[in-house]
Amino acid sequence: MTISEQLAQYIVNVRFEDIPEEVIHFTKLCIVDYYSSLLKGKEAEPVQMMEQVALLIGGEKQATAVTGLKTSITNAAFINGGASHVIELDDIHKASIVHAATVIMPAAIAIAEWQNLSGKRLIEAIIVGYEVAFRIGETVTPSHYYYFHNTATCGTFGAAAAVAKLLDLSKEQIVQAFGSAGTQAAGLWEFIEDGAMSKQLHPGKAAMNGILSALLAQQGFTGATAILEGRRGFFEAMSDEYDVTRMTDKLGEQYKITENAFKVHASCRHTHAAMDLAIQLYEKVKNNGIHSIKLIEVGAYQVALDITDAKNPQTVYAAKFSMQFCVALALLTGKGGYDAYTADSLQDPLIRSLMEKMVVSVDEDIQSQYPQEWGAKIQIHWLDGTIDVMQSQFSKGDPENPLNEQDFIGKFNSLVPLEETHKKKIINQLLHLETLQVQQIIRTIHPIKHISIV
């Protein structure tokens, strides 16, 4: 059997009744985390632009975008994919380097709303979507990640898997859906050079393409049956080296969604281990003053530097992808959340001064543990000759250093700009999702009259 056939059989076999309760609960927390980012991100400029494009394209009123726009399932997934990614607080899987929620959930929730499906069905779909996206990401990492944004490329397959599950596609149809998903999988890292809005386009388009792939397969539209391992398929074309055994090892015996990690800092995940350490050093820096610091050394793994070695970010968004800025911010303020990244902090002379004392480099010990560990080391050399050295293997929010349910609720409450009673109702329904229809959740989140497409 091809890999697509094995994945398709797995998707067909998954049933809510067979999923352990702890996996169901964890999946619901992933959904809470998704809505934290989604509902905060709706006002961002790129998202407003995406909504305007959706209005121009038009479409049937099938699903609800975070902006309140009632539009087509593809348009809703497109907008929600961008909105859930824009504030840089969405989930991440270390081994695959995939932000799964921002691709899989917009696609799956749009379909589930459109078809008025149950929360149980949605949970099934999200689990299989994460499984597929994570496995593909693990297979092609790390070489794929140098040029390609895994969330966009691998996420397209995950979105197609989730939608295929919701549409009850047959094994044969799912194989065809993967063929169409793979040939649409795209997303280049070049946007990082100038902080372009492409990063929001990536998950939005991947979610949209996942829906399109599954709908085409439902109509009998064919795709490559060996899109992953074929000689001109995804692995060969988009990775210098890959481990195909990652695709099916223990497939159906485990739930890779439980390996998911979550963000507590509103920046690139590759900065988080260093930021955690910097926050621990905040009080000492505050008491001693930055004038007492001679040098700060930050050690990380090569991929972290490829993405975040940026000494002079010129926008707030670019600052979130600067290891130097993020560490200096954390050392001086003890913070790294959404509100810490502002136009004022971007040009803060103290932060800029501290950045000039910073050297970022690859630490060979940390590099040897990547991607299983996304670690960091900070050494502060003081003018009196003393040195503080701190090292971390796991960021807060990693499976090895997990958040609890109250952490998720606290994150939601701190980010979502709604009345307290409204937020409490949303949280309660999401945590009891298996007892509800998805349309009930959508009506709770968007109680006001939907905007009509003209």
**Nearest partner of 14 among 100, 108, 176, 128, judged by Cα:** 128
For β-strands 293-300 and 376-382, DSSP reports them as antiparallel
The answer on pLDDT for 454 being more than 50 is no
Helix (H, G, I), strand (E, B) or coil at 220: coil
Residue 304 region by backbone torsions, left for phi larger than 0, else alpha for psi between -120 and 50, else beta? alpha
Q: How far apart are CA 447 and CA 68, in angstroms?
A: 9
The answer on pLDDT for 420 being more than 80 is yes
Cβ–Cβ < 8 Å for 80, 110: yes
Q: Tell me which amino acid residue 158 is.
A: G
Per-residue model confidence (pLDDT) at position 452: 44
The domains located in the chain, with CATH, are: 3-263+425-445 (1.10.4100.10), 269-392 (3.30.1330.120)
pLDDT digits (tens, 9 = 90+) for 375-411: 999 999 999 999 999 999 999 999 999 999 999 999 9
Q: How far apart are CA 61 and CA 63, in angstroms?
A: 6
pLDDT digits (tens, 9 = 90+) for 195-209: 899 999 999 999 999
Strand partners, 127: none
List CB contacts of 134: < 8 A, sequence separation 6 or more: 93, 95, 96, 98, 100, 154, 158, 256, 257, 259
pLDDT digits (tens, 9 = 90+) for 130-176: 999 999 999 999 999 999 999 999 999 999 999 999 999 999 999 99
The region of weakest confidence among 102-116, 370-384, 437-451 is: 437-451
pLDDT digits (tens, 9 = 90+) for 44-70: 999 999 999 999 999 999 999 999 999
Mean per-residue pLDDT over the chain, rounded: 96
**Nearest partner of 106 among 156, 171, 48, judged by Cα:** 156
Strand partners, 361: 299
Q: Give Cα separations from 200 to 66, 77, 342 (angstroms).
A: 14, 12, 19
Per-residue model confidence (pLDDT) at position 97: 96
Report pTM. Answer: 0.94
Position 354 confidence tier, pLDDT thresholds 50, 70, 90? very high
Per-residue model confidence (pLDDT) at position 433: 98
Per-residue model confidence (pLDDT) at position 105: 98
Cβ–Cβ < 8 Å for 77, 64: no
Per-residue model confidence (pLDDT) at position 448: 66
The answer on pLDDT for 453 being more than 50 is no
Average pLDDT over residues 312-331: 96
Percent of the chain with pLDDT over 90: 96
Q: Tell me which amino acid residue 193 is.
A: E
